[in-house]
Every structure is written in C-alpha cells, then in structure tokens.
Amino acid sequence: MTCRDAALLITLGALWGAVFPLASFVLQELPVLVVVVARTALAAAMLLPLAIRTAALRTHLGRYRGRLFTATLIQLTVPIILLTIGQQYVSAGLAGILLGTQPMWALAFTATVERRLPSSAVAGIGIGAAGTVLLFLQDLGTSHSPHALLGGVLLVLSAAGYAGGALYIQRALPGVPPVAVAATAMTLTTLLLAPWLIANPVPMPGTAAVVWLVVLGTVATGGTLVLFYALIRRIGTVRANVAAYLAPCFALLYDMPLGTNPTMTALGGLCLILFGSVMATGFPTGRDRPFRSNQAETTGTVD
C-alpha cells in the first residue's frame, strides 16, 4: 500500500465517521425522514451516473429487479431509518461505536447459515458483545436522557440490518457490482419515502442546517461510496474495509469539539468492539479470509 493509498484510507474513515456528528446536528432542526430522504437522494444523484456509465444498471436491473428491491429494504431503507431515529437520543461518538458492531453481526449471521464458526471468531463476537453491554450499562444506562437506551437499541438493530442486508446481497446478488446495488438502493429508498415528504411539508430550516445536510448527503454519503469503490480498485476490498474500523474512532474525535468528551467506558467499549471485530473477522492483510465481513462493500452508511 502506497502513502497515497494510506492517506485515502484514512480520509475514507474520517468521512464515514463524520456522518454521525453531521446527522446529529441537522436532526436538531429537521425530522428524521427529511434527513433520510435528503441523504439518499443526494447520494443517488452521485452514484447513478457511475452505475449508468459502467452499464451496471442496464445489465442487472431487469434480471434481479425483485432481489434488488428486497436488498434495498433490508440493507438500506429500514437500517438508515433506525439509525437516524437512534441518533436523536445518543451522542455522535456512541452512535459510531454501536454501529461499529456490524462486522460481528455479519459474522454471526454467516455462522447461522453455514453452521460453522472458528473458535477465534466466537471469542471475537463475545469480546465485542461485552463492549456493547458495557456501553449500555454505563454510558446509556446512566444517561440523563430517558430515550438513550431506546436510541442505543435502535442503533444496534441498525447495525444488524446493515450486516444482514450485506449477507443477503452477497448470496442473492453475487454478480451485481456494488455500485449498481448502492445506486439502486439509494434511488428506491428516496422514491419510497418521498411521498411522505409531499404529504407532510416541513418548515424551512436554517441556512447552517441546509448546508450541513448537503454535506452529509454528498460528501459523507455519496462521496464516501465513490472513494470506497476507488480504493477497492487500488488496494482491494479487504484492505479498503479497514475504514470501517477507523470510522468509530473519528466519530469519537469529532464529539470532542462539540463539547462531548468521551468517557472511559466509551473508550473501553470502543476498544472491545474494535478488538472483537478484528479478532472475529481477521485483520485485513491483503488476502481474503473465509469469515471476513463485506458489509462496507455494499453500503456507505457506516453510518
């Protein structure tokens, strides 16, 4: 890996981590579905030209129409709604940590289907689960917000949805390029939820909220996917997935200037979840491993 590749990888992790503070900010002025639709619509506007230019949509849309719709619901529409609702009640840093449980969920679902799991993977899932429980017992359980526990549960369910959807895509759409899946999912989610916005108009938010919402949809959602696919071509899927481990760390860092300093339990939970994920899936070495998680290849919402 060259220095430029390493810099791009760190940039990707930083951008994915930025999803959480950006969403937390715009949710102060806008309803959940407005934020979701804006994110998916702006991301679709960036991804559709790529998918059309590579003929990925034209080649696979007609053949896998039903499967692509199912994948959209499982892997994007439902998880991103749960994620956005949960972020209303949890700090950006904690949201990033809890969503970082995706690799363990992916591995657990894979083991359920294949009925086999290496001992190191079992240990990794246990360690990561301990980190999640630590967060629930301390940072979420003792929070002054009455909805903090609910937010934490929704974020964990969102992580499970992203992971389960990725497994479905891996098995049901093995030959479909990730950019085609992502473009279709973003577009369909926008079309599914847009009628609600038409029927329920919302007041115009402040200028700052609009600006950060555009940044969230273009740079932190659509832009990260474009960068991710570019990194896959440069360094391979396995190494590119390292960004998924960097995102929660950046989410915690972004919390500090916003006045939310990470607690010791948050740092401990982060370490346990990251260590458990690496132990369960295998730290990327440049070669694919039997039980690695591929969720980041089909989603841009380490978020």
- Residue-range domain boundaries for the chain: 3-298
Digit-coded pLDDT (tens) for 211-263: 999 999 999 999 999 898 888 888 876 677 777 778 888 888 888 777 777 77
Q: Output the six-digit token pair for 133.
A: 């429980």
pLDDT score of 142? 56
Which tokens sit at 220? 């932190």
Residue 163 makes CB contacts below 8 A (sequence gap 6+) with 102, 103, 105, 106, 109, 293, 295
- What's the pLDDT at 135? 72
Residue written as tokens 């989603």? 299
The sign of the dihedral angle between the CA atoms of 191, 87, 158, 147 is negative
Q: Which of 51-65, 162-176, 202-216 has the lowest mean pLDDT?
A: 51-65
Reported pTM: 0.84
Q: Tell me the pLDDT band of 290, cut-offs 50, 70 and 90.
A: very low
Higher-pLDDT residue of 211, 299 = 211
Closest CA to 99 of 122, 72, 132, 130: 132
pLDDT class for 296, splitting at 50, 70, 90? very low
What was the pLDDT predicted at 141?
Answer: 58
Closest to 76 (Cα-Cα) out of 41, 46, 112, 52? 41
- CA 159 to each of CA 7, 61, 82: distance values in angstroms, whole numbers, following the listed order: 26, 26, 9
Least confident among 31-45, 143-157, 261-275, 284-298: 284-298
Q: What is the pLDDT, as a whole number, of residue 265?
A: 78
Task: Spell out the alpha helix ranges (H) of the chain.
Answer: 3-26, 32-53, 56-60, 65-72, 78-86, 92-99, 102-114, 119-135, 148-172, 178-199, 207-217, 224-235, 237-240, 243-255, 264-281, 295-298
Give 134-162 pLDDT, tens digit per residue: 776 666 655 556 788 889 899 999 999 99
Mean pLDDT (whole number) for 68-77: 94
pLDDT for 295 equals 40
pLDDT tens digits, one per residue of 89-133 = 988 888 888 888 887 788 788 777 766 767 777 787 788 778 777
Task: Supply the pLDDT for residue 138.
Answer: 64
CA distance 148 to 152: 6
Which residue did the predictor score with more confidence, 220 or 175?
220
Q: What pLDDT is recorded for position 301?
A: 43
With cut-offs at 50, 70 and 90, classify the pLDDT of residue 193: very high
Is the model's pLDDT at 33 over the cut of 90?
yes
Give mean pLDDT, residues 72-101.
91
Residues 6+ apart with CB under 8 A from 277: 100, 101, 103, 104, 124, 128, 245, 293
pLDDT at 76 over 90: yes
pLDDT tier for residue 78 given thresholds of 50, 70 and 90? very high
Residue 4 scores a pLDDT above 80: yes
Per-residue confidence (pLDDT) for residue 198, from 0 to 100:
86
Question: How far is it, in rounded angstroms, from Cα 108 to Cα 121?
Answer: 9
Higher-pLDDT residue of 3 and 120 is: 3
Q: How many CA atoms lie within 13 A of 52 on its CB side?
A: 7
**What pLDDT is recorded for position 175?**
82
pLDDT at 19: 94
Average pLDDT of the chain, as a whole number: 82
